[in-house]
Amino acid sequence: MAKLFQIKYDANPEEIETAYKVFQNKYALKKKILYTFVYLIVLVLGIDLIVKNPTSPAGFIASGLSAGILIFNWVKPVMIRKKLVKTLAELDSSETYVMSFYDTKVEIETIIDTSVETETVAITHNGIYTVEEGSEAEKEMLENAPKEEEIQKTVYNHIDTEMLFTEKDGLLMLFVNRSFIHTIPVRCLSESEQEQVKAYFSEKGLD
């Protein structure tokens, strides 16, 4: 199958956070608003119980629980985004991506810059430990590690994949199966590449 075109890009933690916020608003905002409406009613009823019968614990319990859930409902998404950004910043990733476009599929290759010096660690059920340089443990890990020329490839076929393309705040975003986000900063693309990407998803009815 002939490749139509391809683009190459990277994304920093702040750009990924912005994309994740758009993703949350797209797929979780309606549910969040619904929960807010329901628990606001419970809160009002709880306050009403307190006013009518201050000695009854029912009003205090209902008010306290509903107020806590309301706060959690709005704070949790922010906490998730902040944790995501912190994790990405700590990883100091040097990954770049190549997205290839075909008539019936989209392929995304992850290319890792092996020239960046990194610390070797071992991940076990007891935690994460630094592996001493030159040790037998490091040699074994390096032997089993992917070769430098190997790249990770993800393939999304249009026929069996739910995809949604959107654009906001200098980012082109591809949401896949309501679970994955691919963030493409327009700073990485020429104007013609931007137009190609937009036209492709528009022709597929995915925008």
Cβ-Cβ contacts under 8 Å for 81 (sequence gap 6 or more):
17, 20, 21, 24
Cβ-Cβ contacts under 8 Å for 25 (sequence gap 6 or more):
none
Predicted confidence (pLDDT) at residue 107 exceeds the cutoff of 70 = yes
User: What does the pLDDT average to over 99-103?
Assistant: 93
User: What does the pLDDT average to over 87-94?
Assistant: 59
Domain boundaries defined on the chain: 5-203
How far, in Å, CA of 159 to CA of 162, rounded? 8
**Residue 91 contacts residue 112 (beta carbons within 8 Å):** no
For residue 156, give both structure tokens. 């999304």
Q: What is the pLDDT of residues 2-22, one digit of tens each?
A: 889 999 999 888 888 888 888
Lowest mean pLDDT among 99-113, 147-161, 189-203: 147-161
- Reported confidence tier of residue 189, pLDDT bands at 50, 70, 90: very high
